[in-house]
A and B are shown apart, each in its own frame.
Chain A
Amino acid sequence: MGTLDNRLYEWFGYSSFKHNQREIIESVLSGEDVFLMTATGSGKSLCYQLPALLKQGTAIIVSPLLALMENQVQELKQLGIKNVASYNSFLSLKEKKSVLNRLPEYKLIYISPESLQQKDVLDKLSRLNVSLLAVDEAHCISQWGHEFRTDYLKIGEARNKMGSPPCLALTATAAPEVRKDILDKLNMKDPVIKCDTVDRTNISIRTIKKETEEEKRIELIDCVRKLPKPGMVYVGSRKKAEELAEAIKNEMPFAASAYHGGMTKEDRHLIQQQFLLDEVQIICCTNAFGMGINKPNIRFVIHFDYPKDIESYVQEMGRAGRDGQRSTSILLYTEIDHVFPRKMIEWEFPTEEEVQYICEVLRTDDSHDVTRKRVESYGFEDVHARFISHYWEEWRNKEDARSQEEFINMVIKRRKGWKFNKLIQMEEWISNNNKCRRETLLETFGETLQSPAKQCCDVCGITEPLEDVDEAGDAGFPMMSWQDRLYALLQQQTHKG
Chain B
Amino acid sequence: MNNLSFRQTIFLYLSDHLDGERSVNSIFHILTGKRSSQTIQDIKWYNLTKYFHMFPYWKISDFTAETDELVKYELIDTNENLVRMTAKGKQYLTDFLLHYDWPAFFNGWKYGQAESLFWKRVSLLIQCLSYALAKNRSFLPVFEEEEVQQWLKQRWPKNDKTKQVLADALLGELFQLLEQLSNQDAFLFSYRLSGYNYTGLTMRQLSEMTLLEEDECYFRFQAVIHYLLEHVDQTTYLKEAAYNLIEKTVLTRTTKHTLYYLKQGFTMDEISYIRQLKRSTIEDHVVEIASEDEEFQIHQYVSEYWKNLIVNKMKSEKTMKLKTIKEALPEPGVNYFIIRLTLAYYGGNHGNT
A positions within 8 Å CB-CB of B = 66-67, 70, 90-92, 95, 257-258, 263-264, 266-267, 269-274, 277, 279, 477, 479, 481-483, 485-493, 496
- What is the CA–CA distance of A273 and B202 in the complex, to the nearest angstrom? 11
B129 contacts the other chain (Cβ, under 8 Å)? yes
What are 5 residue pairs bridging A and B, where the CB atoms are less than 8 Å apart in the complex?
Answer: A70-B144, A269-B142, A273-B140, A477-B201, A479-B209
A-binding segment of B21-29, B71-79, B188-196, B284-292: B188-196
From B147, B175, B193, contact of A489 by CB (8 A): B193
Tell me if B's interface is mostly helix, strand, loop or mixed. helix
From B133, B187, B194, contact of A273 by CB (8 A): B194
Question: Is the beta-carbon distance between A266 and B142 smaller than 8 angstroms?
Answer: yes
Residues of A within 8 A of B201 (CB): 270, 477
- What is the CA–CA distance of A325 and B264 in the complex, to the nearest angstrom? 74
B104 contacts the other chain (Cβ, under 8 Å)? no
Which residues of chain B from 190 to 214 have any CB-CB distance to chain A below 8 Å in the complex?
A: 190-191, 193-205, 209
Min distance, Cβ B168 to any Cβ of chain A, angstroms? 8
Among residues of A, the one whose C-beta sits closest to the C-beta of B119 is A266
Among residues of A, the one whose C-beta sits closest to the C-beta of B166 is A490
Min distance, Cβ B165 to any Cβ of chain A, angstroms? 11
B171 contacts the other chain (Cβ, under 8 Å)? yes
B positions within 8 Å CB-CB of A = 126, 129-130, 133-134, 140, 142-147, 164, 167-168, 170-171, 174-175, 178, 183, 186-187, 189-191, 193-205, 209
Residues of B within 8 A of A70 (CB): 144
Task: Output the residue of A70, A277, A482 with the most chain B CB within 10 A.
Answer: A482
Whether A270 touches B194, Cβ cut-off 8 Å, given contacts A92-B146, A487-B171, is yes
Whether A490 touches B142, Cβ cut-off 8 Å, given contacts A257-B202, A485-B191, is no
From A267, A487, A491, A496, contact of B203 by CB (8 A): A267
Question: Is the beta-carbon distance between A482 and B130 smaller than 8 angstroms?
Answer: no
Residues of B within 8 A of A488 (CB): 195, 197-198
Residues of B within 8 A of A264 (CB): 203
Residues of B within 8 A of A91 (CB): 146
Residues of A within 8 A of B130 (CB): 489-490, 492
Question: Is the beta-carbon distance between A491 and B171 smaller than 8 angstroms?
Answer: yes
Min distance, Cβ B259 to any Cβ of chain A, angstroms? 26
Question: Is the beta-carbon distance between B190 and A270 smaller than 8 angstroms?
Answer: no
Question: Is the beta-carbon distance between A482 and B186 smaller than 8 angstroms?
Answer: yes
Question: Is the beta-carbon distance between B199 and A273 smaller than 8 angstroms?
Answer: yes
- What is the CA–CA distance of A266 and B143 in the complex, to the nearest angstrom? 8
Question: Is the beta-carbon distance between A490 and B146 smaller than 8 angstroms?
Answer: no
Residues of A within 8 A of B205 (CB): 257, 477
Min distance, Cβ B237 to any Cβ of chain A, angstroms? 11
Question: Is the beta-carbon distance between A95 and B146 smaller than 8 angstroms?
Answer: yes
Question: Is the beta-carbon distance between A490 and B202 smaller than 8 angstroms?
Answer: no
Question: Is the beta-carbon distance between A485 and B146 smaller than 8 angstroms?
Answer: no
Interface contacts beyond A483-B190, A490-B130: sample of 15 additional A-B pairs, CB < 8 Å, sorted by A: A66-B144, A67-B144, A90-B144, A263-B202, A267-B203, A482-B187, A482-B189, A482-B191, A485-B190, A485-B193, A486-B175, A486-B178, A489-B196, A490-B170, A491-B133
Whether A490 touches B134, Cβ cut-off 8 Å, given contacts A90-B145, A267-B202, A482-B190, is no
Among residues of A, the one whose C-beta sits closest to the C-beta of B139 is A273
Question: Is the beta-carbon distance between B199 and A279 smaller than 8 angstroms?
Answer: yes
Question: Is the beta-carbon distance between B133 and A486 smaller than 8 angstroms?
Answer: no
- What is the CA–CA distance of A92 and B196 in the complex, to the nearest angstrom? 30
Residues of A within 8 A of B202 (CB): 257, 263, 266-267, 270-271
Residues of B within 8 A of A269 (CB): 140, 142
- What is the CA–CA distance of A220 and B130 in the complex, to the nearest angstrom? 38
Among residues of A, the one whose C-beta sits closest to the C-beta of B144 is A70
From A266, A272, A479, A490, contact of B167 by CB (8 A): A490
- What is the CA–CA distance of A479 and B209 in the complex, to the nearest angstrom? 9
Residues of A within 8 A of B189 (CB): 482
Whether A490 touches B199, Cβ cut-off 8 Å, given contacts A266-B142, A273-B140, A483-B175, is no
Whether A492 touches B199, Cβ cut-off 8 Å, given contacts A477-B209, A482-B183, is no
Residues of A within 8 A of B190 (CB): 482-483, 485-486, 489
Min distance, Cβ B97 to any Cβ of chain A, angstroms? 27
Residues of A within 8 A of B196 (CB): 489, 492
- What is the CA–CA distance of A457 and B284 in the complex, to the nearest angstrom? 71
Residues of B within 8 A of A272 (CB): 140
Residues of B within 8 A of A257 (CB): 202, 204-205
Residues of A within 8 A of B129 (CB): 490
- What is the CA–CA distance of A271 and B204 in the complex, to the nearest angstrom? 11
- What is the CA–CA distance of A493 and B198 in the complex, to the nearest angstrom? 15
- What is the CA–CA distance of A92 and B149 in the complex, to the nearest angstrom? 13
- What is the CA–CA distance of A473 and B209 in the complex, to the nearest angstrom? 18
- What is the CA–CA distance of A70 and B197 in the complex, to the nearest angstrom? 23
Among residues of A, the one whose C-beta sits closest to the C-beta of B187 is A482
- What is the CA–CA distance of A279 and B174 in the complex, to the nearest angstrom? 26
Among residues of B, the one whose C-beta sits closest to the C-beta of A255 is B205
Question: Is the beta-carbon distance between A496 and B134 smaller than 8 angstroms?
Answer: yes
Question: Is the beta-carbon distance between A267 and B195 smaller than 8 angstroms?
Answer: no
Question: Is the beta-carbon distance between B187 and A489 smaller than 8 angstroms?
Answer: no
Question: Is the beta-carbon distance between B199 and A274 smaller than 8 angstroms?
Answer: yes
Residues of B within 8 A of A477 (CB): 201, 205, 209
Residues of A within 8 A of B191 (CB): 482, 485
Among residues of B, the one whose C-beta sits closest to the C-beta of A489 is B195
From A95, A258, A266, A490, contact of B195 by CB (8 A): A490
Residues of A within 8 A of B170 (CB): 490
Residues of A within 8 A of B171 (CB): 486-487, 490-491
Min distance, Cβ A75 to any Cβ of chain B, angstroms? 10
Min distance, Cβ B185 to any Cβ of chain A, angstroms? 9
- What is the CA–CA distance of A433 and B164 in the complex, to the nearest angstrom? 62
Question: Is the beta-carbon distance between B142 and A492 smaller than 8 angstroms?
Answer: no
Min distance, Cβ B257 to any Cβ of chain A, angstroms? 21
Min distance, Cβ B241 to any Cβ of chain A, angstroms? 15
Question: Is the beta-carbon distance between A493 and B146 smaller than 8 angstroms?
Answer: no
- What is the CA–CA distance of A67 and B144 in the complex, to the nearest angstrom? 9
Question: Is the beta-carbon distance between A90 and B126 smaller than 8 angstroms?
Answer: no
- What is the CA–CA distance of A90 and B145 in the complex, to the nearest angstrom? 8
Question: Is the beta-carbon distance between A486 and B174 smaller than 8 angstroms?
Answer: yes
Min distance, Cβ A482 to any Cβ of chain B, angstroms? 4
What are the nearest 7 A-B pairs in CB distance?
Answer: A492-B133, A489-B195, A267-B202, A482-B190, A492-B134, A482-B186, A490-B167
Question: Is the beta-carbon distance between B126 and A490 smaller than 8 angstroms?
Answer: yes
Question: Is the beta-carbon distance between A270 and B164 smaller than 8 angstroms?
Answer: no
Min distance, Cβ A492 to any Cβ of chain B, angstroms? 4
- What is the CA–CA distance of A270 and B193 in the complex, to the nearest angstrom? 10
- What is the CA–CA distance of A373 and B218 in the complex, to the nearest angstrom? 33
Residues of B within 8 A of A493 (CB): 133, 164
Residues of B within 8 A of A492 (CB): 130, 133-134, 196
Residues of A within 8 A of B134 (CB): 492, 496
Question: Is the beta-carbon distance between B194 and A491 smaller than 8 angstroms?
Answer: no
Task: Output the residue of A263, A277, A479, A490 with the most chain B CB within 10 A.
Answer: A490
Residues of B within 8 A of A267 (CB): 202-204
Min distance, Cβ A262 to any Cβ of chain B, angstroms? 11
- What is the CA–CA distance of A258 and B202 in the complex, to the nearest angstrom? 11
- What is the CA–CA distance of A267 and B57 in the complex, to the nearest angstrom? 14
Residues of B within 8 A of A263 (CB): 202
